[in-house]
């Protein structure tokens, strides 16, 4: 399969927002406000200090995306890159697109001296995704994730 992994641009915004809405419904059964998601994705694209999106093009269309955000680690004096909002369109799944995107994230991280690691979170029930991440060399941590949603 011929695919291209690249940084997203403003021209990709609508598809990225659609992917994010689809991913939330599919993985968490959450219905997101499409307008808010479009604004949120657009804000990230306009402010690279917040993070970046990678997209995969396949067969002439956007087939997948992921977002990377940054977390400073005082313990390691470097940044963790958090991989988030991973989505591969159903017709493009099981073709190695996530593997290629992850490889590109890892390559970009290794090119920077201040990146100390890659992290992501995954739904407890999403065993397929967990297996994929483990196959790529990631391991489950000893941490639990807590949150308080304020908005």
pLDDT score, position 148: 95
pLDDT score, position 76: 97
pLDDT score, position 26: 93
Identify the band that residue 133 occupies on the pLDDT scale cut at 50, 70 and 90: very high
Q: What is 3-135's CATH topology?
A: Aminopeptidase (3.40.630)
For residue 1, pLDDT beyond 80: no
CA distance 142 to 113: 26
CA distance 36 to 16: 13
CA 92 to chain centre: 16
CA distance 130 to 138: 9
Mean pLDDT of the chain: 96
The tokens describing 82, both together, are: 């958090």
Report strand pairing: 61-73 vs 51-58: antiparallel
The three-class DSSP label of residue 22 is helix
**Buried b or exposed e, range 125-148, using 16+ CB within 10 angstroms:** eeeeeeebbeeeebeeeeeeeeee
| pTM check: above 0.85 | yes
- For the stretch 101-111, pLDDT in tens is 999 999 999 99
């Amino acid at each position: 399969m011929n695919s291209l992994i690249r940084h997203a641009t403003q021209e990709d915004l609508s598809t990225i927002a659609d992917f994010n809405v689809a991913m939330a419904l599919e993985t968490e059964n959450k219905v997101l406000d499409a307008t808010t998601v479009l604004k949120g994705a657009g804000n990230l694209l306009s402010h690279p200090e917040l993070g970046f999106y990678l997209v995969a093009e396949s067969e002439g269309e956007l087939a997948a995306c992921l977002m990377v955000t940054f977390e400073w680690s005082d313990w390691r004096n470097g940044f963790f890159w958090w991989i988030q909002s991973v989505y591969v369109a159903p017709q493009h799944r099981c073709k190695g697109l996530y593997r290629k995107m992850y490889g590109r994230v890892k390559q970009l991280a290794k090119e920077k001296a201040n990146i100390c690691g890659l992290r992501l979170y995954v739904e407890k029930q999403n065993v397929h995704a967990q297996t994929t991440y483990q196959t790529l060399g990631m391991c489950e941590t000893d941490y639990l994730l807590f949150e308080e949603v304020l908005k």
